Amino acid sequence: MRGRLPVAGSQSSLREANRAKIVEAVKQYGGLTQVELTGATGLSPATVSTIVKELVAAGLVEVRGTVRSGRRAQLVTIAHRLGLVAGVVVGHRHLRVAIADASHEVVAEQALPLPAEHKVDTSLDRVALLVVDLLERIGANLDELLGIGLGVPAPVDVDTGLISVRGIMRGWDDVHVAQVLEKRLSRPVFVDNDANLGAMAESTLGASRHVQDSVYVGVSHGTGAGVVIGGRVHRGFAGLAGEIGHVQVDPAGRVCGCGNRGCLDTVVGGPAFLAPLRDSHGNLTLRDVVRYANEGDLGCRQVVADAGRVVGQVVAGLATALNPQCIVVGGELAETGDVLLEPLREAVLRRTLVNRVAPVEVVPTELGGRAELTGALLLALQSTDVFDRIDEARAGMVEEVG
Ligand SMILES: [Zn+2]
């Protein structure tokens, strides 16, 4: 926890510590009712109510009516006026941009298709235009944007914003992605791998929020994993941790963009994944396969299930190395639900050691198609000084109230 440490025993420092507890809980979850705040902080309902009133008066939080479990409740969020952030996810074939406030509430959002093997310059131009356009739509300007979190489907050296392995994302090599976008928008940009962002979102707000050690697996045009150890995303030395798309699954397979042979990415998500359907179904896209599988098409369900098995084999290796409590499965192929998840789960459970505490949980994403975008927004919020400003303002309340 940032901010000042309270001095033990003094009345005002106890208040300050209680205020800090409440602000930390609201920062982490975006918005909580007063009853939920009581549960999250261990404070009494009366104390929560008093402190929330103080924080509202200081302009740090806002309260509005909502409904929880069919009953009316007061939702407490970080005040909207404290600033906006943008989250951006660039995929192999699409781009998504969202604008949110410090309470994690998305206030504008749009997606655009991208051509195959899109180039970094034109794609970041589109990102910049879309960010400005979304801000205009909500009547805000660039000055109100504190920062931008950007996810890409490749390993990233977060210190330099450079994609750390050449050939994985063609047209994006040797470009300081963060610097290029910063130049266009004159706002700070923070870049990370998309699976790391999915992991950050699921472990903060989604399916793995109750555990300390978890893995997020995104299965789309490529497959990537984000590793969370002790509640923090583990990126590794050069941002390569969890790059399971480049684990070899077929020693005699196709040569991958990374230069190795038979990587998982050459088998799942790409052209080789769609090829078995060509004779029976014609030329399908990944989206088509997801849609037909959900409509019950047996051929499409077959290739998705095969993908689940091979991804599960690779994830089992990762799980053996890391011993996570929970594996969260997301990405576009996860939109087929159990068609992907069941064979993936079975492959993981069959290949990992059975411990006497509890088997590893293999669960679907709770944030759905929004996991990575939510992670990009969280990255922007955590990297900008908005939370520091809240802490400073809260610490400043001591003199006024205490
Ligand atoms: Zn590879």
- Per the CB < 8 A criterion, the answer to whether 226 and 198 are in contact is yes
Distance 163 CA to ligand 1 centre (A): 14
Helix/strand/coil for 134: helix
**What are the strands, taking DSSP E only, across 289-357?**
326-330
- Per the CB < 8 A criterion, the answer to whether 62 and 51 are in contact is no
- Do both 72 and 15 map to the same domain? yes
According to DSSP, residue 359 is labeled P
Return the structure tokens found at 241. Answer: 């941790």
- Do both 116 and 67 map to the same domain? no
- Do both 58 and 132 map to the same domain? no
CA distance 13 to 6: 5
| pLDDT mean values, one per 10 residues, the chain (402 residues) | 46 84 84 90 94 89 84 84 91 93 85 89 94 89 93 91 86 90 95 97 96 97 97 94 96 94 95 93 95 98 98 97 96 97 97 85 95 96 80 70 44
Contacts of 86 (CB under 8 A, 6+ apart): 97, 98, 99, 100, 131, 134, 145, 147, 148, 149, 377, 380
pLDDT for the residue numbered 9? 53
Distance 373 CA to ligand 1 centre (A): 25
Distance 224 CA to ligand 1 centre (A): 11
According to DSSP, residue 5 is labeled P
- Do both 271 and 287 map to the same domain? yes
Distance 261 CA to ligand 1 centre (A): 7
Q: Is residue 101 in a domain?
A: yes
Distance 17 CA to ligand 1 centre (A): 49
Total number of domains in the chain: 3
Q: What is the CATH number of the domain that holds 307?
A: 3.30.420.40
Return the structure tokens found at 195. Answer: 């699976």
Distance 269 CA to ligand 1 centre (A): 13
Distance 322 CA to ligand 1 centre (A): 22
Distances (CA, A) of 25 to 67, 211, 346, 347: 19, 17, 36, 37
Contacts of 27 (CB under 8 A, 6+ apart): 78, 387, 390
Return the structure tokens found at 122. Answer: 């034109």
- Do both 129 and 222 map to the same domain? no
pLDDT for the residue numbered 365? 98
Distance 169 CA to ligand 1 centre (A): 11
- Do both 255 and 124 map to the same domain? no
- The domain of 284 spans 207-365
- Do both 107 and 59 map to the same domain? no
- Do both 110 and 234 map to the same domain? no
Distance 272 CA to ligand 1 centre (A): 14
- Do both 61 and 95 map to the same domain? no
Distance 297 CA to ligand 1 centre (A): 30
